[in-house]
Structure 1
């Protein structure tokens, strides 16, 4: 009797797929069809899978890869919610896929087939640009600009600025980087924050930021320069170019920027490259720090990472950027641009912050932190006093 029970249990365990398995396989097949339609620009095929809105919004973006991997399906009668990982690559820019969590709602029709009713970011996942509206595209020589709510002329202007930034960065950093830039231009500060998955207050007054993995190996999605149109629109032509060159510098230096790199160096170097061909004097480019120095308040130490907090006092934030820029400008002036480049790379070659700057100061510049800080403070007095 026991043997018969075991045999029955074995036969039951070896039965066919469960209803949940069947639904998951069906949804995976549906999303495979949907992904193929994106890659082949097949609007008709996409329409057979459900809502057509996402395709309409993203069809102008060139993709080399687009695929879904279903991780869970929760069915309730004729409807279901699916969790999936979306992976995609922008043609000519991403050397590895961007992978993000997505949540889809589905329903069945009279024929029993599943159809997608909606798709949105998964819980705690950031939005993608096409979640915010129809994406416009402008292609430059070394850039691609993707925007929502932007005119064609505006997108082309961004591409022109990015195309100018790429050789300007390569002129000082060298060519050991992709020399290609992806720029995202959402419609507002709030939309920018949604792309970054952070509160809008974190970026208020910041014209643009660059996303990417510090110390990346090159086998990663391309960094995205994400513009805050509210702040960017307040800048003049020179300011806009400086911002795009600054952010492009972050793209170029990413592989040599890691936990060992202080923000005064990474932000200061990016500003140094941005202002290098601008003709701006220290008094023009560092007004907040100039006011402080003129009043006798010379900073006692180089800016800390905390000083760069976007939510901090705007004057303190500006002085931190200006102080980092002038530190890098001083290195270029006293030791040479090649030494500045070598110093940046030497700091980033360390695995952790402790001792990284001190070691690079000693081996590359032949000085120590105390003497360097003293020289920097005197440089501030000379340039801004």
Structure 2
């Protein structure tokens, strides 16, 4: 979930596409022997990387990947060849699935598609000449340059185009975020975060496999599966260095605490969880210890309320879409935050956490919020909405 801080084939081409898995367009049939040979090559390449053996890695081809991954704490790295296209007498292209784990963070592998270019060496064996994301697969951080690492007490920060010293600043913010989240949510989560700092907005978008326009003005995004298991790959907090860099010290801390909250609450965030709750709770945790007044932290909503335009309902999920109306988007986030702030003040912080968990545990979207409001807070959806609207008037005016 994002943080608030902010193919046409016809004729011969279709026939070619039909057989690409067997021979590759314009290529020759790839024998089982050839595929096994390439698999052995990639196995050696993976072993050399994990063992930090530059000579063995160099013997398998291009060393660009080794140099870029030198500082990344890898616990596992392996390829599985899924297709081989013999594109010439001495060249080939392999499709493979890469699986890797980061030490102390990923409890299960991250898997991603890769396309590897191969060439025959003087002895007739294969060597890797390039390793890049497969079509429709997102980039990995090392695709963008040499990765630099900085470790904190509760964090690992990986960046491109930055020094270790500069990355320690991000680690310090993350190290403050984790205890703050645990104080609000509880300690029943990994209490570690993984932060990726690409060099630009465009490279952030590359990691997410989306156009840069989708994230302009957004300071950070957290990736992970809703209801993700504790034994899965770690969530990645991905920063937009352009938008994040415009924030002041408090804003930067709020963003990292917000995103760390998404990491902590992931296992209890289900299909039934509305965005006003997941984003509002993350904002509540982010602002919890800042001392920011509601009108200061929710300026767009405060302006609307002061003008007599009090929202009639809590924001729908569609209101959180990144559109050309940043004011409406801000009001959606601020509305969710104020709803969670109301619960924390009127029913208590423990009940707010229990309410979040109860909504996420509901088997279906319909009735999830209403059921949790009744069971945990002893109120109805209608009464809660009315209390929230009154709370906006009280807190954002005067």
Which TM-score bucket, shorter chain as reference? over 0.9
Q: Distance in 1 between matches of 2:260 and 2:324?
A: 24
Question: How far does residue 19 in structure 1 lie from its aligned partner after superposition?
Answer: 5.9
Displaced runs of 4 or more, over 6 A: none
Question: How far does residue 149 in structure 1 lie from its aligned partner after superposition?
Answer: 1.0
Q: Distance in 2 between matches of 1:256 and 1:200?
A: 30
Which position in structure 1 is the counterpart of 2:76? 65
Question: How far does residue 203 in structure 1 lie from its aligned partner after superposition?
Answer: 1.1
Structure number with greater CO (CA < 8 Å, separation at least 6) is 2
- 1:197-237 residue CA offsets vs partner (Å, 9 max, x unmatched): 11111111110010001101212100000000110000000
Q: Which residue of 276, 279, 302 corresponds with 1:290?
A: 302
Q: Which residue of 41, 51, 55 corresponds with 1:40?
A: 51
1:201/1:311 contact within 8 Å kept: no
Does residue 355 in structure 1 map to residue 376 in structure 2?
A: no
Q: Distance in 2 between matches of 1:345 and 1:42?
A: 47
Q: Distance in 1 between matches of 2:91 and 2:105?
A: 38
Which position in structure 2 is the counterpart of 1:27? 38
Which position in structure 2 is the counterpart of 1:172? 184
1:166/1:180 contact within 8 Å kept: yes
Q: Which residue of 194, 210, 217 corresponds with 2:222?
A: 210
Which position in structure 2 is the counterpart of 1:9? none
Q: Unaligned 5+ residue runs, structure 1?
A: 1-17
Question: How far does residue 104 in structure 1 lie from its aligned partner after superposition?
Answer: 0.3
Q: Which residue of 309, 313, 333 corresponds with 1:321?
A: 333
Task: Provide the alpha-carbon RMSD of the alignment.
Answer: 0.9
Question: Which structure has the bigger radius of gyration?
Answer: 1
Which position in structure 2 is the counterpart of 1:52? 63
Q: Unaligned 5+ residue runs, structure 2?
A: 1-28
- 1:52-104 residue CA offsets vs partner (Å, 9 max, x unmatched): 11111111001010000001101132100000000000000000000000000
Which position in structure 1 is the counterpart of 2:25? none
Aligned residues: 368
Q: Give 1:142-291 correspondences, 5 Å limit.
A: 142-291=154-303
Find the residue that maps to 2:291 and give its secondary structure. Answer: coil
Does residue 139 in structure 1 map to residue 151 in structure 2?
A: yes
Find the residue that maps to 1:94 and give its secondary structure. Answer: coil
Q: Distance in 1 between matches of 2:377 and 2:288?
A: 21
Question: How far does residue 382 in structure 1 lie from its aligned partner after superposition?
Answer: 0.3
Question: How far does residue 152 in structure 1 lie from its aligned partner after superposition?
Answer: 2.0
Question: How far does residue 109 in structure 1 lie from its aligned partner after superposition?
Answer: 1.5
Q: Distance in 2 between matches of 1:248 and 1:352?
A: 26
Which position in structure 2 is the counterpart of 1:343? 355
Does residue 114 in structure 1 map to residue 126 in structure 2?
A: yes
Q: TM-score, normalised by structure 1?
A: 0.94
Which position in structure 1 is the counterpart of 2:95? 83
Q: Distance in 2 between matches of 1:74 and 1:200?
A: 32
- 1:247-270 residue CA offsets vs partner (Å, 9 max, x unmatched): 000000000001100000000000
